[in-house]
Amino acid sequence: MIILLLMINCFIAKLDIEYDTRDFDGNMQRGIRLYLEKDWKASADFFKVALMNRPENPIALYFAACAHANQKNSQESSYYLFLLSKQDNTQSRQILYSVYWDYAFDGIRKTNYFRKAISNINSIYTNQKPDPSALKESNSYFLQGMNSLSHYEYDEAITYFRFSISYWVYNEAPYYYSAVCYARQGFPDRAVTELQKLYVLKTGLSYRFLAMLPKDPNFNEIRDNIKFKQFIHALPFD
């Protein structure tokens, strides 16, 4: 961790912008705002500064990795994933599990750096209760995503839903409404991927969401797609 702090100090010395390294929440908020605007480089800068204040914060580590992955910087992204994988706590494992599904990493998924970073991640504990503060944050981001969805801002909504899942990977609703966003935009493959993640949770609520699929008009755009049809046909209920 000392190495990480030294790297961040060297990085900040080269920046033209002045950052308040003591303001963790402020830097995270700015980083997330820039991430939503797809300004990957600027968002990564703020996540790095936030880590100066809390170098082991799993959310900051994860989104620093995401920001670099979106720039196809596999070495830097994988470094933050490696730091995250070394933390022996429930929240870090839950967040790291999102790496397997998060589209932010698609550009580096086949690189050796990425594969090495997650090589020691084999499973996640499926019977854990959420930390109350993590669940609160998850639900907060979910509601922001629903607000964006109601204004037809699909990419922004998906990003909020991704944040929601990063705080609590077993929050069923963000998966379903991520699928809604993709379906409305005519992306059946990505919609089905989100629905598959929801099915894997195997909870009562996940099944109730999936039972809505045959009649949910949000999926009308992809209803004739073969993959979507196959997914619905394979569900263990009518």
Query: Whole domain around residue 163: which residue ranges?
Result: 137-234
C-alpha distances in Å from residue 157, one per residue of 36, 44, 51, 181: 9, 20, 26, 8
Q: Residue 13 above 60 pLDDT? A: no
Lowest mean pLDDT among 82-96, 107-121, 132-146: 82-96
Q: What's the gap between Cα 213 and its chain centre? A: 23
> Going by C-beta distance under 8 Å and a sequence separation of 6 or more, which residues neighbour residue 174?
138, 141, 142, 145, 161, 162, 164, 165
Say whether both 107 and 145 belong to one domain: no
Q: List the CATH number of the domain containing 198.
A: 1.25.40.10
Q: Are 53 and 9 in contact (CB under 8 A)?
A: no
pLDDT at 236: 73
Assigned domain for 129 exists: no
- Provide the number of structural domains found in the chain: 2
In a domain, 132, yes or no: no
Per-residue pLDDT, averaged over 32-60, amounts to 90
Which pLDDT belongs to residue 95? 76
Residue 163 located in a structural domain: yes
Contact call for residues 179 and 187 (beta carbons, < 8 A): no
The predicted pLDDT at position 8 comes to 41
Residue 50 lies in a domain: yes
Indicate whether 72 pLDDT > 80. Answer: yes
Please report, for residues 80, 186, 213, 228, the alpha-carbon distance to residue 219 in angstroms, rounded to integers and kept in the order given.
Answer: 36, 9, 7, 9
Q: Is the pTM of this model over 0.85?
A: no
Structural domain includes residue 223: yes
Q: Is the pLDDT of residue 70 over 60?
A: yes
187 band by pLDDT with thresholds 50, 70 and 90: very high
Question: Last residue of a domain, which of 117, 151, 173?
Answer: 117
Query: Per-residue confidence at 145, pLDDT binned at 50, 70, 90?
Result: very high
Q: Are residues 172 and 109 in the same domain?
A: no
Mean pLDDT of the chain: 83
Same-domain status, 42 and 85:
yes
Residues 113 and 142 in one domain: no
Maximum mean pLDDT: which of 34-43, 65-74, 110-119, 194-203: 65-74
